[in-house]
Structure 1
Amino acid sequence: MFKLEKEQLYLQQIFQYIQDGIMIMNHKREILMMNPSAERLTGWKLGDRVPFCSFCENRQKSPSEHTCYLIEHNEIPYFLSKMPTYHGSKIDVEMSTALMYTDGKTNEQEFLLVLRDQTLQLKEEEARISKLIIKKLIEAKEEEHKRLAQELHDGVGQSLYTVSVALQAIESYVKDNEKLNTYIEEVRNELEQVMNDIKLYSYQLRPHSIDQLGITPTLGTLVDSVQKVHPDITISLETNFEERCHPSVEINIYRVVQEALHNITKYAKASKVVIRLEKKATNLTLHIEDDGVGFNLQQVKKEGLGLKHMEERITLLGGFFNITSAHNKGTQISIQVPNWKDDFR
């Protein structure tokens, strides 16, 4: 007896607190019993009639067939549909039902109806698709950068080099014309500057070394180039990592460091920057720290796209991104990337 009472108590607790909407309705679709989740999900009350779902309203049926598929077939496993709610909108639900009771005298029937809200699942699917779209856009952007960098290096760069050689040949024919020699020298100097700019633009679009040598040598080259332009800032790269990552990991790690150094040199007024790339037992970690003026993290997150793009890149790798900053206490960026040899698709 005690065991039976305990089971009934458990069933009552389940009925009250389960997240699925559970209700009993009769053959007229009148609600005879419902749990709090059903009322919260639909807004219906005891005695209300359960409206027909979108599936039943639109399905093809014979004139003698009941509109409600659930009642007509007595029992089905489950199906997805849209159910009208009390405020006029429709919610996506997974529905299941079962014939619970048939009166032997009147032949009236009572049905169990279970509704499971699919809204959260749909939102998760939308988030997954959105994440995939962002990933594909970033990949397409990097591929375009790679193509343009190659074109600048192999196409425009080589053409300019050919012009430079031609100028040298012209110089050999006009040795006695000082004025013309001076002019040619000026043109050569300008041409060299353009060629250097082309190399720089090509490298900024996508460094060739990242595909050939990997992330560590490429970060070293990046640090050296920024150090030359900003000799007042001490930038150090500390790493115990020499392996190759998946290309998606390498280019996204590189872009994060590139963006971080850009922000530091432009806004931080820092005198020291430490970049630490390390291989841990289960992941690859990146830590970037400066001793600059810091900033209001909430304001920058709201207004700036740079931090958002950095976080998006790491999130797409299945990694963890964290940034801390405070006024006059510098900025610290911490990143962890698991499975850094895998393709993140």
Structure 2
Amino acid sequence: MEQYPVDPKYLNQIFEHIQDGIIVMDQNREILLMNPAAGRLTGWAVGEHVPFCSYCKERKAEAGENRCYLIARNEVPYFLSQMPVYHGKKLDVEMSTALIYQDQDHQEKEYLLVLRDQTLRQKEEEVRLSKMMIKRLIEVQEREHKRLAHELHDGVSQSLYTISVALQAIESTIQADERLHDYVNEVRAELQRAMSDIKAYSHQLRPTSLDGLGLVSALETLIHTIQSTSSLSIELKTNISGRLPSAVEINVYRVIQEGLHNVVKYAEAKKVYLLLVEDQGRLIVEVHDDGKGFDLEQAKGGLGLEHMRERIEQLNGHFHIESAPGKGTTILAKMMLDESGEEIDESHGS
């Protein structure tokens, strides 16, 4: 392969602007040259000596062997350890070294030492693990919601229905006792209220229409329920006619459900505009109300808003809220449907 000479000005630009710390040191570890990134990373200066990392400081070196593991073992391409930096603080770094100059007459050597901060990588890994944990918790929560909803619908509701039928049979035998007849009617009315409550609780836990018919159908049911129990008017605009991935459907449903309930409880709004559209593989969700709005700074850290954000981020989406006192509130979420990640595995909860 043909080699081309590198213009020194490019080498200098790389040396000055690369984010890795680059240090030239002699065999005694005295710093001869260093780039700005190395200075920012370590706090060292030219003329000082590179301290031994935590491993080299404690390792057992053979007689006559350089305590620096990288210098002693030229074959090692890189090395992970902690390096003393500012005022005794230790920094997790990835180190590599190479012999770049050797004077045979005076036995002088110069080494290139490259330091890469591992802190950012560790933080990124912590964020990744945190997101994965949140995703798993949401999955477990939804599976449990689905199980409880089925239990309420298929178990408790059926038992109450059986009791209702039994009451009808009893009522037919006590027509002559008006007082007892009135009491049975009161019991039946209370039973109907309990059955209605269980149906509502079951729907809140896991709408049956969401599993059977999809997101749009579940939202239409949710909108009907809210409008029948409040003075709020909700207008839904959507171009979605088919099914979406199950993880998208349940998480988007929960976000919209939380948003609408917040409007009912706090916004004092008259109208809500709900947009749910798919555009070139991207799903756009918008909930806008004409209510009193709120101060975003004061609302930071609220569990409701954070849970909404977490659900959208689990779909690799972007979540944004706009609001101000007297200006209403807009919730906006966007995500790529083909990049939404794994669907929620509900096979264990069915």
Fold agreement, TM-score > 0.5: yes
Are 1:296 and 2:295 counterparts? yes
Query: How do 1:249-268 and structure 2 match up within 5 A?
Result: 249-268=248-267
Distance in 1 (alpha carbons) for counterparts of 2:333 and 2:242: 18
- Report deviation, 1:60: 5.5
Q: Counterpart in 2 of 1:10? A: 10
SS at match of 2:98: strand
| TM-score, with structure 1 as normaliser | 0.93
Query: How do 1:125-274 and structure 2 match up within 5 A?
Result: 125-230=125-230, 232-274=231-273
Distance in 1 (alpha carbons) for counterparts of 2:186 and 2:339: 50
Moved more, 6-15 or 311-320: 6-15
Q: Counterpart in 2 of 1:67? A: 67
- Report deviation, 1:259: 0.6
Deviations 1:190-224 (A, max 9, x none): 01100110110111111111111110100000000
Distance in 2 (alpha carbons) for counterparts of 1:250 and 1:59: 56
Partner of residue 325 from structure 2, selected from 327, 333, 336: 327
Gaps of 5+ in 1: none
Q: Counterpart in 2 of 1:309? A: 307
| Percentage of pairs with the same residue | 55
- Is 1:43–1:86's contact at 8 Å kept on the other side of the alignment? yes
SS at match of 2:172: helix
Code of the residue aligned with 2:330 in structure 1: it is Q
- Report deviation, 1:10: 3.0
SS at match of 1:81: strand
Deviations 1:24-70 (A, max 9, x none): 11222121222221121111122222122133245565444322111
Distance in 1 (alpha carbons) for counterparts of 2:286 and 2:160: 40
- Is 2:100–2:110's contact at 8 Å kept on the other side of the alignment? yes
Q: Which has the higher contact order (CA 8 A, sep 6+)?
A: 2
Equivalent residues, number: 340
- Is 1:21–1:116's contact at 8 Å kept on the other side of the alignment? yes
- Report deviation, 1:342: 5.0
Distance in 2 (alpha carbons) for counterparts of 1:70 and 1:343: 41
Q: Counterpart in 2 of 1:110? A: 110
- Report deviation, 1:145: 1.0
Distance in 2 (alpha carbons) for counterparts of 1:223 and 1:207: 13
Q: Counterpart in 1 of 2:346? A: none
Are 1:33 and 2:33 counterparts? yes
Code of the residue aligned with 1:311 in structure 2: it is R
1:331 to 1:197, Cα distance in 2 relative to 1, 3 A: same
Code of the residue aligned with 1:322 in structure 2: it is H
Distance in 1 (alpha carbons) for counterparts of 2:60 and 2:251: 53
Deviations 1:80-105 (A, max 9, x none): 22111132121111111111122212
- Report deviation, 1:139: 1.2
| TM-score, with structure 2 as normaliser | 0.92
Distance in 1 (alpha carbons) for counterparts of 2:116 and 2:240: 49
SS at match of 2:71: helix
Distance in 1 (alpha carbons) for counterparts of 2:119 and 2:77: 20
- Report deviation, 1:327: 2.5
Distance in 2 (alpha carbons) for counterparts of 1:155 and 1:240: 37
- Is 1:249–1:340's contact at 8 Å kept on the other side of the alignment? no
Distance in 2 (alpha carbons) for counterparts of 1:289 and 1:161: 40
- Is 2:21–2:116's contact at 8 Å kept on the other side of the alignment? yes
- Report deviation, 1:326: 2.4
Distance in 2 (alpha carbons) for counterparts of 1:85 and 1:155: 64
- Is 2:316–2:339's contact at 8 Å kept on the other side of the alignment? no
